[in-house]
Amino acid sequence: MTEEKETTEPRTEQFKYIQVTPRDKSWGLAVTTAGYQHVHPGDEYPLSIHPSGYNFSNSKRRVLNEYQIVYITRGEGFFESASCSRTRIVAGDLFMLFPGEWHTYGPDPETGWDEHWIGFNGGFMDDKISSGFFTFKNCVFRMGIDERITNIYHEVLDLIRGEQKGFQQMAGGLTMSLISRVYYEDINHSLSDSYKTKIIKQAKLLMQEDMSHNRSLEEIAEYLGMSYSTFRRDFKAACGMSPGQYRLELKIIKAKELLYSTRMSIADISSDLFFENSGQFSNFFKKKVGVSPFEYRKRMANKDNNS
CA distance 32 to 66: 8
CA distance 76 to 59: 21
Bridge partner residues of 31 (DSSP): 120
Give the single-character DSSP code of 15. Answer: E
Instruction: Say yes or no to pLDDT of 169 above 70.
Output: yes
Question: Of the candidates 146, 144, 156, 91, which has an alpha carbon nearest to the alpha carbon of residue 118?
Answer: 156
Neighbours of 84 (CB within 10 A): 18
pLDDT at 240: 80
Domain ranges of the chain: 2-189, 195-306
Class of the 2-189 domain?
mainly beta
What φ, ψ does residue 121 adopt, rounded to 5°? -140, 165
CA distance 49 to 55: 7
Inter-residue contact 242 to 236 (CB < 8 Å): yes
Instruction: Say yes or no to pLDDT of 218 above 70.
Output: yes
For residue 293, the surrounding DSSP H or E stretch is helix 293-306
- Do 195-306 and 2-189 fall under one CATH topology? no
CA distance 88 to 76: 7
Helical ranges in 15-146 per DSSP H: 22-26, 123-130
Range scoring the smallest mean pLDDT among 54-58, 144-148, 166-170, 287-291: 54-58
Helices (H) and strands (E) in the chain, counts: 11, 9
Give the single-character DSSP code of 259. Answer: H
Instruction: Say yes or no to pLDDT of 7 above 50.
Output: no
What φ, ψ does residue 124 adopt, rounded to 5°? -55, -50
pLDDT at 233: 86
Rounded average pLDDT over 47-61: 80
pLDDT classification of 193: cutoffs 50, 70, 90: low
CA distance 246 to 304: 29
Range scoring the smallest mean pLDDT among 61-70, 115-124, 237-246, 282-291: 237-246
pLDDT at 158: 94
Nearest 5 degrees, angle CA 48-CA 49-CA 50?
110
Bridge partner residues of 159 (DSSP): none
Report how far apart the first and last C-alpha atoms of the chain are (Å, whole number): 75
Rounded average pLDDT over 189-215: 73
Bridge partner residues of 36 (DSSP): 14, 116
CA distance 272 to 257: 13
Inter-residue contact 200 to 224 (CB < 8 Å): no
Inter-residue contact 284 to 266 (CB < 8 Å): no
Rounded average pLDDT over 163-183: 95
Rounded average pLDDT over 116-144: 93
CA distance 277 to 256: 17
CA distance 100 to 107: 23
pLDDT at 261: 84
pLDDT classification of 237: cutoffs 50, 70, 90: confident
pLDDT at 113: 94
Can you state the angle between helices 278-289 and 293-306, rounded to 10 degrees?
Answer: 60
CATH code for the structural domain at 195-306: 1.10.10.60
Q: Which stretch, 2-11, 27-36, 275-284, has highest mean pLDDT? A: 27-36
